[in-house]
Chain A
Amino acid sequence: MKWQPFSLLAALALVGCSAETNEPINQDLWSSELVSGVDGVYVRLPHAGKLIRLSDSGAIEEVDLNGASPQRLVSVPDGSKTLAFAQWTECEDEDEDIVYLSDCDSDDIKAHTELHIVSDGVTTGQLDIPSFINTLSFPGSGELANVAVAYLDDTQITGLEINGVVDLGAVYFIDMDQGQIVGSTSVGFSPDRILFGQDNKAIIMSRSKVVVVDLNTYQQAFEAPLTLDADQKIDPSGAELAYDADSQSEILLLTVENSADLYMLNLKDEFWNIGDLGSVPTGIGVDQETGKSVFVFGSSSKAIVLNNSELATLNSSSIQTISLEEPANKTIVANKSAVLYNDANDYVHDVYRIDLETSDLTEYVAENPISSLKLNADGSKAVAVMKPEFGSGSYQDANWGVAILDLGSNDIVNLVAESRPVGVEIIDSEDVSYALVLLSGLDYVLKLDLANPRNAEQIDLPAAPLSLGTMPDGRFLIAHDSKLGMVSTFDPAASADDALTTHSGFAAVGLLKNNKLPRRGEEN
């Protein structure tokens, strides 16, 4: 009996002292907008202000951005590098007693915008860029594979902060191997797209003018105004490059807002030619193999096909008009064909294929209006997401669906979806094309063999999917709706047991952040 007080004391101590608290985290732990490179999947962690790489093995590695917090990720086209827009917060007061951000006087806090070039999980280059830059374009492969073009796309502006006076029309050329800006030029107001042409030229469209830059010297080759009236504002709406084999000239085809005019800029001889398409075009496609260009018109049931070798002498006789039953506002060109569809009109069901060699027209009728459409790599199949048709009574018409078009015939398969398809990706292997369809709020995705789409396979997932993408090695990448982080890779060609690989919990990295000031030159 005499041990009872001690036993009670021990029991009380063993219980320990517990606390239950509620500490909301103000930012997302991870961003589901993943970037997939050949070296792994990169994930931005907004709460932690970190960037991590997920490897196939399941390894989680933190990418050292020298104390900067990643804001946005972009992969180069071949997936060999990932570029991270990042922000580094500096306290200009170097007092050693200032350890945390909260210790620094707000007047001494300065934010720097940087671009980090990451390869194989390591920063290979870091450069200061103006804070307004939000878009990158890449010339592609070959000798310009190391070049990125950075500019402000004012349709993508979020929280733009300007210090002092800046030129929002400046375009910067970045050598990704050297990790530095190698040139810049001002292209006028609101640059909104860049095309890369022959002879290492960058053709930059902005309000009321086109600027051509020689990427060998990063100097302006020439500037081509769209109007001689300084008061007139002309905003480009669509642009493609065509090649005129007769004159051996590259031609910029440019359409502008609210105008039926087609602007044609000969990039070799530097002159404009303007033609009248009769209606305001809403889409352009150019097929280099057949030397044809296609124009569609959202408000007119026709398509126009132009022979690129006749662009210099364009007149009414050289315009080939193809009548459609319903208007199309978009076109995708592939494999000597143009696929036309309408994603803006809720009553249009038709999808068309124009054989650009013969000008033969094939009509496909989808059960419901089209919301989006994608082609496989060789242009032999198309996958369209169909949206519910307003005011219609049938079950299929009232629901979302997926249509698979065989562009080699006039076959179309219409499937009804359990919920809204919020992501569609297509992957081509040697002899098979697969589509993966992500359905809103469901814990599975649909795998479609495009040659046999009626036998859709349901792939069960460990959590509801959030977004869908493709990887450079031909796998699908799925982000799941899980706050602590969950992504899966899906190999459509693998056996069912091995096809799906899931990594989770990575968003806990940096959970216990302490807001320590990232002092450069010190360990953070």
Chain B
Amino acid sequence: MLTILAFTSAAMAAEPRHEITFDLGSLNSNDPAWNIVGGQQSPSSGIRAGYGAKPWLTVIGSWHLSRIQTDHGASYYDYEEPHADIGHDSSTHESNNASNGQVLSELSIHHVSLGAKFSHEVQNWLVPYATAQGRLHIGSLRVTDKWDAEDASIDLNASGLGYGGSVSAGVELRSKPIGGSMSLAAHLELGYSLSTAMDFAVESEGSSASIGSLNYNGATVSAGVGLRF
């Protein structure tokens, strides 16, 4: 963050070609596995910064964060008093199964992007644009029986990495320059993203068993406000 601030400080004396914005958005996925962790839309927020190489070309980089906490429900079957020995076989009778504790998951995903933004100034205040970006999704998944780690008897942590890209089109609204070197800007953009799956696994004593995987293959939408300098 300090690097970004230093970068913007140095650039402020020039005409406003660079940008920094605060974004809110949603990344959608058609992967049904997302339904287990709150649905197929991941809200995200973060920062996007751009370096204006040309009036029509900006090199953009961004960091966004999605965080989803899910309670997987406390009563999805009726509990009966246990009565059976394990024996040498098992059956489909489910009434003797576990009912204590919670099933909670917390998914945090850092989205890091780098790409180009192509702009065409229709009016001083109205600038349509398109972007193409490469994306890295760095996910961490926590599965636990208590939110408070100190109280949890089971607390699993797994990480996954996915990569891909996105294209988007949007429109940017710019204010009149303030003091000749800085202006306010707001944008709204829609796009589509493709990525490889983030694979999460339970690691134990040299073994690895899959918890599952999540990808971002779907539409994206984001809106933001920021400064041009």
Binding site for B on A (CB under 8 A): 3, 5-6, 9-10, 12-36, 44, 46, 52, 55, 57-62, 71-75, 77, 79, 100, 102, 136, 156, 158-159, 420, 422-425, 438, 440, 462-470, 477, 479-486, 503-506, 508-516
Contact = CB atoms under 8 A, between A and B. Distances in A.
A26 to B, nearest CB: 6
B100 A74 contact: no
Contacts of B145: 482-484
Interface in B200-216: 200, 202, 204-207, 209-214
B92 A463 contact: no
B43 A440 contact: no
A61 B207 contact: yes
Interface residues of B, number: 79
A275 B19 CA distance: 101
A514 B32 contact: yes
Contacts of B39: 21, 23
Contacts of B47: 9-10, 13
A440 B24 contact: no
A349 B32 CA distance: 59
Contacts of B66: 16-17
A22 B100 CA distance: 17
Contacts of A466: 82, 96-98
26 contacts: A9-B226, A10-B1, A13-B47, A16-B44, A16-B46, A16-B67, A17-B43, A17-B45, A19-B67, A21-B68, A23-B38, A28-B77, A32-B82, A34-B86, A420-B81, A467-B96, A470-B86, A481-B100, A483-B99, A484-B154, A511-B36, A511-B105, A511-B211, A512-B212, A513-B36, A514-B31
Given A9-B20, A25-B36, 17 more contacts: A24-B76, A28-B94, A31-B94, A35-B86, A60-B204, A74-B89, A467-B82, A467-B96, A468-B86, A481-B82, A482-B154, A483-B99, A483-B103, A484-B103, A505-B143, A509-B202, A509-B210
B90 A22 contact: no
B223 to A, nearest CB: 12
Contacts of A440: 81-82
Given A481-B99, A483-B100, A46 B94 contact: yes
A100 B32 contact: yes
Given A32-B97, A505-B156, A44 B68 contact: no
Interface in B143-188: 143-145, 153-154, 156
B87 A469 contact: yes
A485 B98 CA distance: 8
A12 B1 CA distance: 12
Contact of B73 (A23, A464, A486): A23
B151 to A, nearest CB: 13
Nearest to A440: B81
Nearest to B103: A483
Given A508-B156, A511-B105, A21 B90 contact: no
Interface string B55-69: 000000001111111
B102 interface: yes
| Chain A contact surface mostly | mixed
B33 interface: yes
Contacts of A23: 35-39, 70-73
B67 A21 contact: no
A292 to B, nearest CB: 28
Given A75-B88, A467-B84, A17 B44 contact: yes
A497 B43 CA distance: 48
Contacts of B219: none
Nearest to B86: A469
A72 B103 contact: no
Interface in B87-146: 87-94, 96-103, 105, 108, 143-145
A75 B67 contact: no
Contacts of A44: 90
Contacts of A100: 32
Sorted nearest first, the 10 A-B pairs with minimum C-beta distance are: A512-B212, A469-B86, A24-B73, A33-B90, A21-B38, A16-B65, A59-B207, A17-B45, A514-B33, A74-B89
A29 B101 CA distance: 12
Contact of A35 (B88, B100, B154): B88
B10 interface: no
Contacts of B68: 18-21
A354 B73 CA distance: 54
Contacts of A26: 76
Contact of B98 (A32, A156, A423, A425): A32
Contact of A25 (B73, B96, B209): B73
Contact of B212 (A36, A46, A510): A510
